[in-house]
Structure 1
Amino acid sequence: MWKRSNQRISGLFLITLGIIIITLILPVSAASVEENSESIADLQTALTVVWLIICGGIVFLMHAGFSLVEIGLTRVKNTTNILMKNFMTICLGIVVYWAVGWALMYGADAAGLIGSDQFFMTGADNGIWTSWWFQMVFAATGATIVSGAMAERTSFKAYLVYTIFMVGLIYPVFGHWVWSGAGILTSGPIVDTIGVVYHDFAGSSVVHMIGGFSALAGVLLVGPRIGKFNNGKPVVIPGHSLPLAFLGTLILAFGWVGFNGGSTLDGNDPYISLVIANTFLAAGAGAIIVLLITWMKTGKPDPSLTANGMLAGLVAITASCGSVASWAAVVIGLIAGIIVYAGVMFNEYTLKVDDPVGAIAVHGYSGAWGILSVGIFAIGQGNGIFADAAYTAAGAGLLYGGYQQFAIQVVGLILAVIWAFGISFIIFKILDAVMGLRVPEEDEIAGLDIKEHGMSAYPEFVLAKE
């Protein structure tokens, strides 16, 4: 009896103690949960800021990749000139995008065509500075594409002036149409008529097509390098360093981790890994198909074209990597590889234009394919592996029974070509009239390193040769 009584007292004591503890802890726990929720939200915000800063830094490194690709695929005598152009592209890009570019791209909308405030980043808070940093490194990339296509015969002064227009006008205006949320391709009559918004996840058109078709305008006006065509037939002018070209290609490919991965704009996004996986599936497929094509056509796999096949796959998947299944990414990359090979041949044998690095085919033509591929392969918002991702294409592609997404992609593609080629042609024409677009013949023959900058990138090599 005593033991049972003792057990009851102990049980009552424990129950009472438990009630007291719960009563005391509950308010504290509720407060703790609220504080923890705030802390988690702050951590998520901080993670996104850090993610965008890091991804912007990775994209910034792509300028080193562009530099190495361009000097590797051109001749020794123009190395310093190309390095200076690429270096000054990012330097000018930083300042011009701060002063004008951001405002025209993300300022208060004016008729869906252009931004109209925030010049010199007036009124920018910490969040806007993070976005500015990430967008700025994209802006300078468009001008770098032009640099490679017009290499070895273009005036350094003319290129610098053109870069200001590219970063301060050409890129941000089209960017406003696509990425501001208020432009003509994401709201207004075009969208209302078709029924869905234009989709370019990370820049197949905004960056690559704008750069590629601007380059086409410049190349047509500046003309081919001396000796590039003999009786209308293209002559191979070998670059001086395949190791540098391949190193540059791999640096550029790494840059796409920031380019596409960062374009989720959320460091907590659950689909970042899928976006990056699609990106590199397309890259690998692009390189493989070009290797096979050149091997079958000539009996030997072509190194520089194979490297461009990888870049073509990367460019093409940039628009759709957050909207398509992995098998589609492979198909997009394969077709991009075919396009870049055919595009290089078309430029040289039909258009008779001289693009030393294949930039027009890689960025312009493959970028256009990337835009169309959204309208073909996109699974559609609310469906498939990217079902709840805010950045996936709104409409389903042709393969999934939709047609609206394809229709607006065609409209966006046409506008990109007209805008980039048209405005660049006008600017280059004016620059040619005012200061001369092309260097004198004797300067081109001697090399732009000595004539434009007074020094060689490889002085020991030059002295030994002399």
Structure 2
Amino acid sequence: MIKYCIMILAFIVTGTTSAFAAETAVLQDAVTQTNINYVWTILAAILVFFMQAGFALLEAGFSRSKNAVNIIMKNFMDVGAGGLVFFAVGFALMFGTTAGGWIGTDGFFLTGIEGQDQTWTWAFFIFQAVFAATAATIVSGAVAERTKFTGYLVFSILITGVIYPVFGSWAWGGLFNGSGWLEGLGFIDFAGSTVVHSVGGWAALAGALVVGPRVGKYDDQGNPVHIPGHSLPFAALGVFILWFGWFGFNAGSTTVGDTSIALIAMNTFLAAGAGATFSMIVTWFQFGKPDAPMTINGVLAGLVGITAGCANLSPGFAIITGAIAGIIVVYASEWLETFVDDPVGAIAVHGVCGAWGTLAAGLFDTTAGLFGTQGFDPSIIGVQLLGIAAAFLWTFTVSYILFNIIKSTVGLRVNGELEAKGLDLHEHDNRAYPEFVGSDEFIEGEV
């Protein structure tokens, strides 16, 4: 009897120890995964932050040298002032507890947030803040070379504080404490073809229309005149930086360090390559020579296009999405240039290709898209089109009104004489290249 009791006791102790060890291992695995999630999210945020350098180089390269300092200043303030206002107001409007699926109502200054670990709130905020800065800086290039710095700064604060967060709450509020009406309908925009890029693109369209074209952009018959930028290598380097940072932009949107980032990263890479290749092919056939600036924008077109569907498209459809975006950007740029002056092509790249990418995310969805495994569901396409339309109506309308208010108050446009002299001297009393005076600049003292 004693023997059996000892055996039973040993079994109980051994079993308990094994169960405890197993439970400890599970808890340790969960802690490790949580730590990886934090590290991956912050690393991805750093990559997206570095994209600001890419935008600065791209915009400066596509613009004339006399305006390079102005562009650098705008990009710094998109992150600096824009980041502060997103901390104070924007994050709460976008991710706070949602009122009727329309707008966040708490979490201002990251306070009063219920149900979230504080450290995760910090990590999630920094990732979303660099996204907000990206939406703002898209506007910078479209209104470059003729816009007052003060007027631009006011709008940059408004887009990061209100315009972007409100639409973001509709589509992404549920990522934190909210619950937007668009995401409730099943809207697909994994990393922001519409939420970030089309919002930035439609705001850019409103700004470019209100501020008007640069002096000399259109001839007496209203035909557009090409105004080349001062450094194509700068622009190319900027796009390589953007391509690099985009891996954080798309794969980082998981906010989870797991195997899902492999497909997202591959789709991002393939779509960008397809965008560059097909925009080059189109210009080669159309103009007889492969066009470098349009090929550069083709990379961005592919990246913007795949951003919505990077997590739910197969690699083959990622290539198709990027290729079509590369074709679209060529013809959209040519059409838009007939009535709006956009020095960097931001409206075509971000607005138009963002809309295409959002549609493609539903059209080529691996589960229920046109070629999905569960059969085509037209309601998905309907929701995608609704989201595209909602982004345009909200962003363009509000931006157009705000730009006109800025124009009537603090001012938006520099006069022709000062534009000819360059915004660097007039707005900042600096030159990007102090030992060089370009042929399109007045030497100081002549004005």
Relative to 1, partners in 2 of residues 1:20 and 1:184: Cα closer, same or farther, differing over 3 Å? closer
Counterparts of residues 428-439 of structure 1 (less than 5 Å): 428-439=403-414
Pairing 1:286–2:275 present = yes
| Amino acid in structure 2 at the alignment position of 1:435 | V
Question: Which is greater in Rg?
Answer: 1
Kindly indicate whether the alpha-carbon contact (under 8 Å) linking 1:287 and 1:337 is maintained by their aligned counterparts in 2. yes
Counterparts of residues 2-21 of structure 1 (less than 5 Å): none
SS at match of 1:306: helix
Pairing 1:131–2:124 present = yes
Pairwise CA distance, 1:348: 1.3
Pairing 1:345–2:327 present = no
Q: 1:250 aligns with which of 236, 240, 243?
A: 240
Q: 2:293 aligns with which of 304, 328, 333?
A: 304
Pairing 1:263–2:250 present = no
SS at match of 1:229: coil
1:326 maps to 315
Kindly indicate whether the alpha-carbon contact (under 8 Å) linking 1:374 and 1:405 is maintained by their aligned counterparts in 2. no
2:18 maps to 29
Moved over 3 A (4+): 17-27, 462-466
Take 1:246 and 1:146, find their aligned partners in 2: how far apart are those partners?
A: 19
How many residues are paired up?
A: 427
Give CA deviations for 1:270-289 in whole Å, capped at 9, x if unaligned: 22110111111110000000
Take 2:169 and 2:8, find their aligned partners in 1: how far apart are those partners?
A: 61
Pairwise CA distance, 1:20: 9.8
Take 2:432 and 2:162, find their aligned partners in 1: how far apart are those partners?
A: 33
1:450 maps to 425
TM-score by length of 2: 0.92
Give CA deviations for 1:233-252 in whole Å, capped at 9, x if unaligned: 11111111111100000000
Unaligned runs of 5+ in 1: 1-16, 192-196, 381-395
2:401 maps to 426
Pairwise CA distance, 1:186: 2.1
Unaligned runs of 5+ in 2: 1-5
Deviates more, 1:17-26 or 1:198-207: 17-26
Pairwise CA distance, 1:92: 1.1
| Amino acid in structure 2 at the alignment position of 1:413 | I
Take 2:11 and 2:320, find their aligned partners in 1: how far apart are those partners?
A: 60
Give the CA RMSD over aligned residues: 2.1
Kindly indicate whether the alpha-carbon contact (under 8 Å) linking 1:104 and 1:117 is maintained by their aligned counterparts in 2. yes
Pairwise CA distance, 1:68: 0.2
Relative to 1, partners in 2 of residues 1:262 and 1:406: Cα closer, same or farther, differing over 3 Å? same
Pairwise CA distance, 1:462: 3.5
Take 1:420 and 1:19, find their aligned partners in 2: how far apart are those partners?
A: 72
Pairing 1:237–2:220 present = no
Deviates more, 1:121-130 or 1:225-234: 121-130
Pairwise CA distance, 1:442: 1.3
2:3 maps to none
Take 1:283 and 1:70, find their aligned partners in 2: how far apart are those partners?
A: 19
| Amino acid in structure 2 at the alignment position of 1:353 | V
SS at match of 2:229: coil
Pairwise CA distance, 1:24: 5.9
Take 1:162 and 1:20, find their aligned partners in 2: how far apart are those partners?
A: 74
Counterparts of residues 59-78 of structure 1 (less than 5 Å): 59-78=48-67
| Amino acid in structure 2 at the alignment position of 1:152 | E
Take 2:18 and 2:436, find their aligned partners in 1: how far apart are those partners?
A: 73
Relative to 1, partners in 2 of residues 1:463 and 1:224: Cα closer, same or farther, differing over 3 Å? closer
Kindly indicate whether the alpha-carbon contact (under 8 Å) linking 2:294 and 2:330 is maintained by their aligned counterparts in 1. yes
Q: 2:182 aligns with which of 182, 185, 189?
A: 185
| Amino acid in structure 1 at the alignment position of 2:153 | L
Pairwise CA distance, 1:436: 1.4
Pairwise CA distance, 1:399: 3.2
TM-score by length of 1: 0.88
| Amino acid in structure 2 at the alignment position of 1:186 | E
Counterparts of residues 52-451 of structure 1 (less than 5 Å): 52-124=41-113, 125-181=118-174, 182-187=179-184, 191=185, 197-230=186-219, 231-268=221-258, 270-349=259-338, 352-380=339-367, 396-400=368-372, 401-451=376-426
Take 1:18 and 1:162, find their aligned partners in 2: how far apart are those partners?
A: 77
Take 1:204 and 1:87, find their aligned partners in 2: how far apart are those partners?
A: 23
| Amino acid in structure 2 at the alignment position of 1:132 | F
